[in-house]
Structure 1
Amino acid sequence: MSEKNREGKRTARERLAVEREKQKSRDKRRRALIVSASVVCVLGLAAVIGVVAANAGKDDSESAGPVVAPSGAQGKDGLAIPVGKESAKSTLTIWEDFRCPACKGFELAYRDTIHQLTDKGQLRVEYHLATIIDGNMGGTGSRRSANAAACAQDAGKFTPYHDVLYDNQPPETDDAFADNDKLIELAGKVDGLDTPAFQECVKNGTHDSWVEKSNEAFQSGGFSGTPTVLLDGKNIYEDRSMTPAKLKQLVKDANK
């Protein structure tokens, strides 16, 4: 073989070796890009999953809007719905939950007496709404019904709607009050309450944040449960000797 031919073959081998190295470099860069892209995709997917998980952990109460107290609400932070004359010399403070069976029991036993005393101007009642059954049993019926009651307060119909809710209270484990349509249906039992304004207030959860704030006040108040009933600051619900007749007498004595 001539020197020229040997030189040509050596040059061809060198060129082939150079091309192989270039191809290896290209393959290496391509693998690196694939790995980098995969990492970015995994990180992006993890971020999406994290956001979804975080949002899934929140209930709609966490995303509620600004606190909107119902019309005429009074007391600290506007959390009390007042019934009766301000000039009354006795004040009955009631913390209640519309899903609470014990609250219904108290209402049915004392309702007529309370109405008589407020109508006579001898007693003022301050209602505070809580949602402890939602927390204990799950669901949103306590909050939804409390919002609806606050909407009824806006319409000047709190007391009759309050009574209708207790008259139609579902079993404690039945979250029927979570259904806005049910709450609106019950409003039909109160003359003049089932209006477009009331329906919008119920469906939009206008007072949801106010209800949550009221429940927070209940939880931080050191109360043992609902109902909590205070007559001029004294817990009469814990008084086993208390009766409607005794309550009436205490109020009359205070008004002498």
Structure 2
Amino acid sequence: MSQRNGEGQGGARARLRAQQRRDRARAKRRRVLLVAVAAVAVLGAAAGIGVLVSHRGRGGGTGPVVAPAGATGPDKLVIPVGRAGAPATLSVYEDFRCPACKQFEDTFRGTIHDLTGKGTMKAEYRLVTIIDGNLGGSGSLNAANAAACAQDLGGFPAYHDVLYTHQPIETDDAYADKDTLIKLAGTVGGLDTPAFRRCVREGVHNGWVRKSTKDFSNSGFNATPTVLLNGKNVYADTKHPLTPQRLRSLVEQAAKG
């Protein structure tokens, strides 16, 4: 009996050691994956650019797709600003948590307002949730939904600017707090209404934001901001860096045909 018990115990120890080796191998594979994902996210954060690295950032999830009022384009994923027949179209893919998007807006805001106001250019905004996927959280999603709610009430341009003016640091998911988004709406005349509050709190346009993000992930672009002028990626042209004056010149050329 003593010998059989020893053999049984030896077999049990061998099985335990084998299971421990398998557990350690799985843990190692998980650590490697997490380090790789973190490295990509850190690189994107260091450059101030939102980069697609996970399914969470690609608009996964279910729910009704409710486009905001006046949305245009295929699947109504575009929020337009400016005269529909303008000779130049500036397409901007943005994330409200993305610091590089804020840098773009701070640099070009006045020029974009001037050109859209004159009718020589229209802007088309596509809202995505890259930073939520990179760093976790829901600030990108909630802010984009709130911006779509503002579009329903005709307040998108002003509220869009407010969100970038008050953008928290990238690692602070302050826009996940819907009360913060509603409080900021109070700085836009006539926007903080019961309809806006309900839209923000219920996430009425969350499905639409997720669909927009999924469309972006399938577009061939992988970072925010992505800025196109009449379909050409002008913001990524390192040989001819985009400046407010260059944007004006390109729009003037488009107006001349």
TM range (shorter): 0.7 to 0.9
| Contact 2:71–2:80 (Cα < 8 Å) also in 1 | yes
CA displacement, residues 110-141 of structure 1 (integer Å, 9 cap, x when unaligned): 01000000000000111000100000000000
Partner Cα distance (1:140, 1:85) in 2: 33
1:63 Cα deviation after fit: 6.5
Structure 2 unaligned residues grouped into runs of 5+: 1-55
Residue 109 of structure 1 corresponds to 107
Partner Cα distance (2:61, 2:107) in 1: 38
Residue 75 of structure 2 corresponds to 77
Residue 212 of structure 1 corresponds to 210
Q: SS state of the match for residue 255, structure 1? A: helix
Partner Cα distance (1:204, 1:242) in 2: 38
1:100 Cα deviation after fit: 0.1
Q: SS state of the match for residue 167, structure 2? A: coil
| Contact 1:89–1:122 (Cα < 8 Å) also in 2 | yes
Q: SS state of the match for residue 92, structure 2? A: strand
Q: Which has the larger radius of gyration?
A: 1
User: CA 1:87 to 1:62, structure 2 compared with 1: closer, same or farther past 3 Å?
Assistant: closer
Partner Cα distance (2:104, 2:63) in 1: 33
Q: How many aligned positions are there?
A: 197
Partner Cα distance (2:181, 2:63) in 1: 21
Q: SS state of the match for residue 111, structure 1? A: helix
| Contact 1:64–1:208 (Cα < 8 Å) also in 2 | no
1:239 Cα deviation after fit: 2.0
Q: SS state of the match for residue 224, structure 2? A: coil
| Contact 1:90–1:123 (Cα < 8 Å) also in 2 | yes
Partner Cα distance (1:163, 1:62) in 2: 27
1:87 Cα deviation after fit: 1.1
1:147 Cα deviation after fit: 0.1
| Contact 2:60–2:210 (Cα < 8 Å) also in 1 | no
| Contact 1:70–1:154 (Cα < 8 Å) also in 2 | yes
2:109 counterpart of 1:120: no
Residue 9 of structure 1 corresponds to none
| % identity of equivalent residues | 60
Partner Cα distance (2:70, 2:117) in 1: 18
Residue 250 of structure 2 corresponds to 250
Residue 148 of structure 1 corresponds to 146
Let me know the Cα RMSD of the aligned residues: 1.3
Partner Cα distance (2:61, 2:210) in 1: 11
Q: SS state of the match for residue 85, structure 1? A: coil
| Contact 1:102–1:227 (Cα < 8 Å) also in 2 | yes
User: CA 1:62 to 1:253, structure 2 compared with 1: closer, same or farther past 3 Å?
Assistant: closer
Q: Residues 44-123 of structure 1: matches in 2 within 5 Å?
A: 64-123=62-121
1:242 Cα deviation after fit: 1.6
